[in-house]
Amino acid sequence: MTNIIDELKWRGAVNQVSDEENLSKLLDEKSVGVYCGTDPTGDSLHVGHLIPFMMLKRFQLAGHRAFILIGGGTGSIGDPSGRSTERTLQTMEQVHHNEEALTSQMKKLFGEDNITIVNNYDWLSKISLLDFLRDYGKLFNINTMLNKEVVASRLEVGISFTEFTYQILQAVDFHHLLLENDVQLQIGGADQWGNITAGIDLIHKMEGSDTQAFALTIPLMLKADGTKFGKSAGGAVWLDPEKTTPYEFYQFWLNQDDRDVVKYLKYFTFLGKEEIEELAKKVKTEPEKREAQRRLAEEVTEFVHGKEAVHQAEHISKALFSGEVKDLTADEIEQGFKNMPTVTVNKEPENIVEWLVESGIEKSKRQAREDVTNGAIYINGDRIKDLEFMIDPSKQFDGKFVIARRGKKRYFLGRVID
């Protein structure tokens, strides 16, 4: 069996690792407890958050015990990592709502085998101020804390005592999980190195310097053009289908640059080395086929949303490309036309020329008649050349939509109002 550290290195997924020799040896000897955490700062993860959790999934599939920590406690004070200003504190009600949403997402991604989801609110909320200062604060050296990159980068603009203590709380988490669940490895993004190693230092001070505890971080992911990965034209790409539809999610991966796609296949899919290397060859020899991008979109969409979402996204893509939209369901239209020009239309049947002008698709009746006569207008996938044609919204798509197309690719979504 391939050593998982070697595999992660091949995938370009290792930034820093503490005591690699002993960690590799431990991972070969037994099933190790591995954890990755996220704070409930929102009610959904986005694809940028997914990176370390994909690594955790690899440990899970390799037979190790995966732990996901939802930071109900740490999330209530805010991690200074990757920020130049203080976070706005959320209400505890909002934190708890986000905890529930993220827990549900994680269960969907990881299933039930070799996975445990914990919430650090359960133990951090029970530590009194005096116990915190006596039992933990005494073990942290201010000079060492100031030198951590996450704090040092904030000293010029200032950092509150609240955010300054964040690394202590994360260290307490690692110590707690070691004692309660035999968790010996924490993984996270590159910006978490200081927080994770603070946990290892705490463990060595409290449990002895020979206690085995390890850190592994994932590189910061940048696109080939140097910009940050994970954003689309509409903003963040969310895992929540209500925020980013499965079709939009699929399209995000399908539209990746040739220069990035092989890297993303290594990071975000569970395809083997042989298949990825074959796809990498096709990127060079047949880039126009975009086979690597299609495989990437299929794999990640299935992992996050399931097989049916992949079929649906492919069906929408094919329909929009070919113009054969009449077989789409109302749900597929909702997804595929989300970012297209939308107009509101009445549910009563109406003459096509009148309808085109009233909906704002055409500027004048003269232009509308000309476009219809010339065959430039399509309604629900059918070319209409009859000036007397009546548009009846009740005929298709559950009476919710009318799809108009002018020319080859100019789509408009008519959303029916009562």
Which residues contribute to the annotated binding site for L-tyrosine?
A: 35, 166, 170
Assign residue 140 a region (left: φ > 0; alpha: ψ between -120 and 50; beta: otherwise).
beta
* 258-268 vs 291-305: helix crossing angle, rounded to 10: 40
Binding-site members for ATP are 231
What angle is formed at CA 331 by the lines to CA 358 and CA 337, rounded to 5 degrees? 50
Strands (E), 85-172: 115-119
Which positions ≥6 away from 58 have C-beta within 8 Å? 4, 7, 8, 270
Rounded to 5 degrees, φ, ψ at 177 are -70, -30
Render the burial of 86-120: b for 16+ CB within 10 Å, e for the rest: ebeebeeebbbebbebbbebbeebbeeebbbebbb
How many Cα neighbours within 13 Å face the side chain of 109? 32
Contact, 182 vs 214, CB < 8 A?
Answer: no
- Can you read off the two tokens belonging to residue 188? 């996270």
Among 325, 303, 338, 309, smallest CA distance to 402 is for 325
Binding-site members are 35, 166, 170, 231
